[in-house]
Structure 1
Amino acid sequence: MNEILKHLLYSDLCSTTSNYAILVFRILLALELFRVHGMKKFRGNDGKPEVVPNPLGLPAPINNLIATLSDTVVPLLIVLGALTRLAVLPTIGVTAVGYFVVHRHDSLEVRDVPYIYTICFLLLLVIGPGSYSIDQILYNHLKLK
């Protein structure tokens, strides 16, 4: 169990500059996801909540829950650097489905948004949130070294 926690929580990018860079990256990425996509879940362009596509045919409540959490709760966790590697998983799923399924016949100009989001969140999955994060505090507090 300790090994699993170590892999989930540890993320030192070996330099102060790198750790600050990933802090700024994850904050700006998460804020943009929430601002552009999360706010639509509460109030779309016409003042009504966004209708979420359901290309996989999931039960509507589950589909809406995953999409809403991915665009509203996940950005908060990413800003805080809290359980980052787990938190990005639903957003990677939503953005990858957007790229490969929802927008598969659209032009590259339309497809690039979910593509870029998917790549950015995959980066966070692999490298973690960096040293300036709740994950690092938990890692140090649990003495998982």
Structure 2
Amino acid sequence: MKKLFNTNFNNNSVHFMLLLLRVAFAVFMITHGYGKLVMITSGGPIQFGDPIGIGTAVSLYLTVFAEFFCSILLLLGLATRFALIPLIITMIVAVFIVHAADDFGTKEMGLHYLIVYLFLLVAGPGRYSVDSLIGKSGRRR
């Protein structure tokens, strides 16, 4: 029973869970971004929202950059904190602008992503990441 209520951190478990969280949420978001990437590469007319008034094409390109390309960086744990910034901005726009008038159920998934991205921004990518490998090679010099 004591072990169940123990509040000590097991560093190996924490780093593994950071890896799992990063990989899972990156893969989930890549599926959203891929559909939008296909929209760009298909050559057809762009039909996408313009929630912040910068134009539909620019909005789509920025969303694809965040949801697809930044998610690949998140998956690898490469430039993780920098990659999270566009993802966080995208989720803020989705939840608080695009779905502002919608009910909580519609906003809920975007809020989940936002909270996880904020957590990873603060916690970092963990030991099992390219960022960690780069950091180790920089310390040996």
The corresponding residue for 2:52 is: 56
SS at match of 1:52: coil
Equivalent pairs counted in the alignment come to 130
Q: Tell me whether 1:30 sits opposite 2:23 in the alignment.
A: no
Cα distance in 2 between the residues matched to 1:54 and 1:127: 32
SS at match of 2:139: coil
Q: Deviations over 1:8-37 (max 9, x none)?
A: xxxxx87111101110111011101112x1
* Percent pairwise identity: 26
Cα distance in 1 between the residues matched to 2:69 and 2:35: 14
The corresponding residue for 2:129 is: 133
- The CA RMSD over aligned residues, in Å, is 2.4
Q: Deviations over 1:68-125 (max 9, x none)?
A: 1111111111111000000010110011111111101101110111111111111111
Q: Do the aligned residues in 1 keep the contact of 2:36 with 2:60 (CA within 8 Å)?
A: no
- RCO higher in structure (CA 8 A, sep ≥6): 1
When normalised by structure 1's length, the TM-score is: 0.80
Q: Do the aligned residues in 2 keep the contact of 1:38 with 1:72 (CA within 8 Å)?
A: yes
Cα distance in 2 between the residues matched to 1:19 and 1:88: 18
Cα distance in 2 between the residues matched to 1:135 and 1:111: 31
Q: Do the aligned residues in 1 keep the contact of 2:22 with 2:74 (CA within 8 Å)?
A: yes
Match of 1:39 among 34, 37, 43: 34
1:51 positional shift: 3.4
**Counterparts in 2 of 1:87-106, with a 5 A limit?**
87-106=83-102
1:61 positional shift: 3.8
User: Based on CA coordinates, which of the two structures has the bigger radius of gyration?
Assistant: 2
The corresponding residue for 2:103 is: 107
When normalised by structure 2's length, the TM-score is: 0.82
Q: Which runs of 5+ in 2 are unaligned?
A: 1-8
Cα distance in 2 between the residues matched to 1:28 and 1:64: 23
Q: Which runs of 5+ in 1 are unaligned?
A: 1-12
The corresponding residue for 1:84 is: 80
Cα distance in 1 between the residues matched to 2:64 and 2:108: 21
